[in-house]
Amino acid sequence: MKKEEALRVLRDRGQEQLLRFYDELSPSERDNLIGQIERIDWETVALFDHPEDLTGKGRIAPLKGLDVGEIAQRKAEFLSVGKAAIGAGKVGAVLLAGGQGTRLGSDAPKGTFNVGITRTVSIFERLMCNLKESNSVCDATVPLYIMTSEKNDRETRAFFEQNAYFGYPASEVKFFVQETAPCVGTDGKILLEEKGKIASSPNGNGGWYASLLQAGLGEDLDKRGVEWLNVFAVDNVLQRIADPVFVGATIAEGVNCGAKVVRKTCPEERVGVLCLEDGAPNIIEYYEIPKETAAARDERGELLYPYGVILNYLFRVSRLKEMEKARIPVHVVKKKIPCLDEAGNPIMPQTENGYKFETLILDMVRLMGNCLPYEVVREREFAPIKNKTGTDSVESARELLARNGVEL
């Protein structure tokens, strides 16, 4: 593509501001910018003007899960099924580490964050310890796939290398980079991060399977005979990964997907709620669930919609393959986006100044057709680090780690 053609493409879409500083760029910067323009997914950008209606309209109903009591009663059965599957190499793990961790306010990959007090303990180290624990119970080495983003891939890989993969065999750890989407201002115009660089961001955690395939790792799954993938967030330092009891329960119940959940502390708690919508599993975000639904109780006084998701799912690979071409909805989310102003000066916004386009893993659960809510004890398995202080913060996670006997 030449400048004239790029200009025509941009004019047709009212986006010619992207070439505002073209004449100031070096020849290689110019080529690079034109390349970025060529790769813009205009269908996604058009969602700014015509966003999909993502508020559930279907009939919401409770989804029966396995509660802590039932899991305890059937633990031996689940453990034996899970151990057999993990021991036979049928389970892989996927760490979602492509997020930007803006709430934590650090530019480094979130997993490199030090949660230690008297010694250095990175988030990645905690997660690898948790995974190794499951491995030792099952006498296996679960292959680990780590999703990074263009922004943090190099640093993440280097961190694993510097730390000798935290004692994990390097051959069992594979990295892949998730795709990005352009960011737009509140007027829908695509923003520039530098004079020759479009502002872009990772396209949300719902793109993990497509990005894994894009990186050629589908073959790796097939070669190894991986039938289940345990997908988990980078920021929950207490979670069990490739937990054999969870794996066994999901397999024994014959579903395509299992979701670790915690019992909500109150109807208003800000967690996504796992339920049914028109008969299919669905996760409703806390800001979308009607108040009366969130507060509804059964005859024993228990919440009808008690299960909050913690972003730890088990997906059946054959179902993922069947749904490979299915479209995952794109959410248009207001965020703070560093960019250039019209004069080319960099802006570090203090308030939201634009939108990112993101797909969410919770929308994948619906595509699985069915899902088992699997309750875990919050104090033992849920210590997310989202913020610097307060709720779901470094402070609260440190306290929970200490309570679980982890030396910091």
Cα(67)–Cα(372) distance, rounded to whole angstroms? 11
Residue 64 CA: distances (Å) to CA of 190, 290, 298, 370, 382? 44, 20, 13, 11, 21
Using CB under 6 A as the binding rule, whether residue 182 contacts ligand UTP is answered as no
User: Restricting to residues 247-276, which ones interact with ligand UTP according to CB under 6 A?
Assistant: none
User: Restricting to residues 296-325, which ones interact with ligand UTP according to CB under 6 A?
Assistant: 311
* Closest C-alpha to 334, from 362, 364, 361, 358: 358
User: Restricting to residues 121-180, which ones interact with ligand UTP according to CB under 6 A?
Assistant: 147, 178
Nearer to ligand UTP, 71 or 205 (CB): 205
Applying CB under 6 A, the site for ligand UTP has a residue count of 20
Give the interface segment with ligand UTP, choosing from 19-27, 97-105, 132-140, 392-400 (CB under 6 A). Answer: 97-105
Cβ neighbours, 10 Å, residue 103: 15
| CA torsion angle 211 326 368 45 (round to 10) | 60
One-character DSSP codes across 316-367: EHHHHHHTTTPPPP-EEEEE---EE-TTS-EE--SS--EEEEE--THHHHHH
* Closest C-alpha to 309, from 369, 263, 240: 263
Give the interface segment with ligand UTP, choosing from 18-26, 100-108, 259-267, 374-382 (CB under 6 A). Answer: 100-108
* Closest C-alpha to 242, from 256, 230, 258, 233: 230
Using CB under 6 A as the binding rule, whether residue 98 contacts ligand UTP is answered as yes
Among 103, 189, 263, 321, binds ligand UTP (CB under 6 A): 103
User: Restricting to residues 17-46, which ones interact with ligand UTP according to CB under 6 A?
Assistant: none
Among 204, 244, 248, 373, binds ligand UTP (CB under 6 A): 204
Nearer to ligand UTP, 83 or 386 (CB): 386
Among 101, 258, 272, 281, binds ligand UTP (CB under 6 A): 101
User: Restricting to residues 336-395, which ones interact with ligand UTP according to CB under 6 A?
Assistant: 386
Least distance in Å: CB of 131 to ligand UTP?
15
Least distance in Å: CB of 302 to ligand UTP?
28
Residue 174 CA: distances (Å) to CA of 157, 165, 278, 344, 361? 10, 11, 38, 39, 20
**If phi over 0 gives left and psi between -120 and 50 gives alpha, with beta otherwise, what is residue 190?**
beta
Least distance in Å: CB of 224 to ligand UTP?
22
Is 18 strand, coil or helix? helix
Among 97, 226, 257, 328, binds ligand UTP (CB under 6 A): 97
Among 196, 202, 267, 281, binds ligand UTP (CB under 6 A): 202
Among 6, 137, 146, 234, binds ligand UTP (CB under 6 A): 234
Q: Are 394 and 388 in contact (CB under 8 A)?
A: yes
Nearer to ligand UTP, 104 or 372 (CB): 104
Residues that bind ligand UTP (CB under 6 A): 96-103, 110, 147, 178, 202-205, 233-235, 311, 386
